[in-house]
Every structure is written in C-alpha cells, then in structure tokens.
Structure 1
Amino acid sequence: MVVTIELHADASDFEQLARGIARLPEQIKVKAASRAMRRVMQMARTRIVKRSAERVDLTQSRIRALTTVAMNAGGNSADIVMRSNWIALYKLGATQIATGVRVRMRGSYRSAFIAGMGSGHEGVFKRQGKARLPIHELFGPNPAHDITNHPEVFLQVLAEVIEDRLLPRYLHEVENLLPR
C-alpha cells in the first residue's frame, strides 16, 4: 500500500530562510534533516500509538511494543511499521467466572472457558455446538488491522505531525550543528 501525504505551507516567509539554508554546507543540511526526521518520526509513532490505543481499547504500552520506526540512513525516508496478529483474550487478562470468562476492558463471554493445551499454550476457548469438541480460541483486537481498515484516521495524524513539527525541528537541528 503506497501512501502519499500532501503538505501545505505558506511560502512568503521561506524565501530568506531558503537562501540561508542553501548557503549551509551539504554535510550540515544532511545531518540536520536526518536528525529532524528521526525525531519527528518518533513523535508520529507516539501519536499513532495513542490514537490506535483509543480506537481498539488497549493500553499504549501493548501497542507500542508492536510498533517500530525504521529510518533509511542514506535517504530522506522513514517507515512506521505496526505488526500484530489478533491478540488472544487470555493475554488481555482473562478470568474464569461461573458464567464464562471475564476479560479486563472487554466484558464477559458466556460459555467460554480458560484452558491449557499440552504444548503449554493457554487461551480462552468456546465450544462449537453442544458437543465437547470442536472448540475454537477467542481473540481480541488487532491494531494493525484497524490501521489497514481506517487509513484516513492515521494519515491525518501523520500529516498533522509533519506539518507542525518537521520544519521547526529541522531549524532547531541546524542551529545545534552550526558552530557558535
């Protein structure tokens, strides 16, 4: 899936700034751009994790563990990658109760039960019909699936961070790299 973000900026104030940046040594421009991009991508990751946690009703720490930021050292690109499968209800804090299973922040599942398999896997299961077998495992949300199904929400978050933070951060990094 290729994602394109369109940014809008007022060019009237940038003419003098552009001349000043053009006079900078190439090494400083590249280093400042790389540092600014890295910091802005970390900010974007934080905001994406926060928005995703709100949408799928999970803790930010659980979603943060699934999310990585990768920078292309030679180029001007970065990737924010969220990889996850459906999260097992057992991992969300399931408790066996008389009528089934209660899961923290998810509610109750009637007729469900917690079982351990011979392999050591534990999970929340439910029978298919009245017979003892077959059973199937119950799962909670998949944060990556939410991003795939609702890209406009997360693209808006990315666009806001880039528009608000990239240029000021780049100027900050240039200022730090210039000799005093």
Structure 2
Amino acid sequence: MFTIQFDESVLNDIENKFIEFPQQAPRALASALNRVSSMTKTRMVRNARKIYTVKYGELLKGLTANKAFPAKLIAQINSKGNYLGLDNFQLNPSTRIGRTPVTATVKNGNGIMLNGNTFIAYRDGHLGAFEREGSGRLPIKRKYGPSAPQMLGPTTWLPDLDEFMSQKLNERFEHELNRLLSM
C-alpha cells in the first residue's frame, strides 16, 4: 500500500483552484493518477528486470491498472499470473540441439545447469525446457521459473516506488491542472 503526499505549496494551490474551478481539479487529479500508475508499472518491471532475466513483455502481461475517475480518485495496479516457463528467461541452448546440456539463468549472474534429463523441445506451441516423467518418451513436463507476481513483489522496492509516485504525482497534477485550465 502506498501513501502519496503533496507538498504544502501544492496543497494550498489545489485548495485555491478548487474554489475557482470545482469541476476541473478532480479531473486533473484523475488524469494525473492514471498517468502515474502507468509510469509506476514501467518502473516495477524495470526493477524486477534488474534481478531477473525475464522478458519485459512477460512481466508486463500480468500487470493491470484500474483507472481513476473524477468521482473515484483511486488507481490500483494488480499483478497476477502463473509460473513462467524457463523459455521466458535465459535458456541455453535456446533451440533444439542434440544432447547439449541445458542451462537456465533465472536471476542475473546465477546460471544453473539443469539435470541430465532436461532437454529443449516444442510442445503445445511452446519451445522450452522439458523433462521426462517416466522411462518412456512420453509424458514430458515443462520446467518453470517464478511467476510475475513473485518477481514484482519484493518489498525492498516499496520505498523507491513510494518516493517515485509521490514526486511524479505532484508534477503530473500541476501539469494536468494547467492543461485543463488553459482549454
């Protein structure tokens, strides 16, 4: 949960503009909240990619933002998703090559050689790392890494995101209010 604080001068400015233009201030704040939530999603994905080797689009897929409206000045960012296959991380080899040992790098700098039964194959339209479940050719099961919510959720980034959102909301609110008042 984040708390966003305005500067004292900005709060006084908001109160004065509420009196003059009661319709414009909530619209400006809703626009600012929506823009800041979009910027925060990008920031969250970039923070996760500093640690994990996951593809940018895979993290962004699971993030949804509920928009703010003038009557409801709340914006939310939610993350959901299942475990991601190892093909969404750095996988070596990245294509099917004979009996080459398979290594996966989920976290930056930590490459792990997977056991000798792991191989690269296509299944259900996915190229990824698979492992045999029995002694026969089939069935095989896909190897997975962490899910998007697990990668986006470390609490060590909360102070950085809180400060970022507060700063950007102050800037964006001023911009949006001036834009609406100039129309």
Query: What RMSD in Å do the two structures reach over aligned CA positions?
Result: 2.9
1:81 pairs, out of 63, 78, 81, with 78
1:6 matches 2:3: yes
**Quick check: 2:32–2:172 contact (8 Å CA) kept in 1?**
yes
Corresponding residue SS for 1:157:
helix
Identity across the alignment (%): 24
| Deviation, structure 1 residue 170 | 0.8
Query: Against the structure 1 CA distance between its residues 172 and 124, is the aligned structure 2 distance closer, same or farther, given a 3 Å change threshold?
Result: same
AA aligned opposite 2:62: L
Report the counterpart of residue 58 of structure 1 in structure 2: 54
The structure 1 segments of at least 4 consecutive aligned residues displaced by more than 6 Å after TM superposition are none
Do 1:123 and 1:137's aligned partners in 2 also have CA atoms closer than 8 Å? Answer: yes
Matches within 5 A, 1:32-71: 32-71=28-67
More deviation in 30-39 or 51-60?
51-60
Match of 1:24 in 2: 20
Q: Please give the alpha-carbon distance, in whole angstroms, between the structure 2 residues aligned to 1:159 and 1:54.
A: 18
- In the TM superposition, residue 35 of structure 1 has moved relative to its aligned partner by 0.9
TM-score (norm 1): 0.76
- Separation in 1, partners of 2:143, 2:166: 41
Give the aligned partner of residue 148 of structure 2.
Answer: 143
Task: Check conservation: 2:96, 2:121, Cα contact below 8 A.
Answer: no
State the AA in 2 paired with 1:26: P
How many pairs align?
172
